[in-house]
Structure 1
Amino acid sequence: MTLFLRAATPADVRTLFAIRTAVRENHMSLDELVAAGVTPDSVADLVQSPDAGTWIGLWDGEPAGFAMARQDPGDVFALFVLPEMEERGVGRALLTQAEAWLASRGLACAWLLTGGGPGLRAAAFYEARGWVAAGREHDGQIRFTKRLAASSVGEETHFRTR
């Protein structure tokens, strides 16, 4: 089995939304995303922005997950994996890519927000990858930070998996 990461394009926006609305944890419907200001147009703008990086993970050629990072404010804005693709290294590879991209932009530290409710696995996922909890936001999300190191991970990356 092979995982391939590539830079997302505007043609992938529909796929990004399909992945985002399919997740089990931190689920949001399309209507909820739009109400929060995350629209197909705003995502297409991010995908095309030189100040943001967006990658789609393809498992044997099929969409499995995606990540988005923004140079300013220096965050991992999104990281989502289809439920049936969990536990295959997709999220780990996408997070590594986002971290490397932020480091390549000269950032020494990055941050992200994730849900912090009981039973959610995201906090443990980030902690296992060196992210440190730095408090809670007013909406209950946990803010994580991480010191970044330069990396050679590129825009297109192949990963061999089990």
Structure 2
Amino acid sequence: MTLTHRPAVPEDAPACIDLRGRTRQNAVPADRLAAYGITAASWAEGIRSGATPGHVCLRGDHLVGYCFGDRDTGEVVVLALLPEAEGQGLGRDLLGRVVAQLAGLGWRRLFLGCSTDPASRSHGFYRHLGWQSTGRLDAHGDEILELLLPAPG
């Protein structure tokens, strides 16, 4: 079945919440997200207001992955794929779309939190794409990686 990529819309939020709990590594179920203040309503509002721009990937009508950033900080907030969507270049594509979107907003330094465990898929994934360690950890104990973007022109 054909894959479709498109910018996220508020109506994607419930499926994003559901998918986040079904990832292979670092799955976060809806109740834990809610404890952090992340609900379908708050996610939809972030998309609607432009505060959390993102892109989704669908197989037919089913969400298989997404990536979102933070307009106000330049953080890549989340990249998530269903296990069956891994290894097909979708994560790289979704991340690239959000990086381009944040760069278009003027950000020249992007950052994200990544597992410190070298056995974690994300550990090597981001580094392979040029993200560098800052040597600092975030409040969740994740390593902060950064990507420096060239100035336009």
TM > 0.5 fold call: yes
Task: Tell me the distance in 2 between the aligned counterparts of 1:91 and 1:136.
Answer: 23
- Count, aligned residues: 151
1:62 maps to 62
In 1, Cα distance between the equivalents of 2:103 and 2:2?
25
Trace 1:45-84 onto structure 2 (pairs within 5 A): 45-59=45-59, 62-84=62-84
CA distance in 1 between counterparts of 2:99 and 2:67 reads: 10
Secondary structure of the residue that 1:133 maps to in structure 2?
strand
Distance in 2 (alpha carbons) for counterparts of 1:87 and 1:132: 22
Gaps of 5+ in 1: 152-162
Is the 1:57–1:64 Cα contact (8 Å) retained in structure 2?
yes
The answer to whether 1:94 aligns with 2:94 is yes
Counterpart contact for 1:104–1:150, Cα < 8 Å: no
Q: Normalising by the residue count of structure 2, what TM-score does the alignment of the two structures yield?
A: 0.89
Deviation at 1:116, TM superposition (A): 2.3
The answer to whether the Cα contact below 8 Å between 1:103 and 1:150 also exists between their aligned partners in 2 is no
- Displacement of 1:37 in angstroms is 1.4
Runs of 4+ that moved beyond 6 A: none
Partner residue in 2 for 1:42: 42
Tell me by how many angstroms 1:69 deviates.
0.8
| Gap runs ≥5 in structure 2 | none
Q: Which has the higher contact order (CA 8 A, sep 6+)?
A: 1
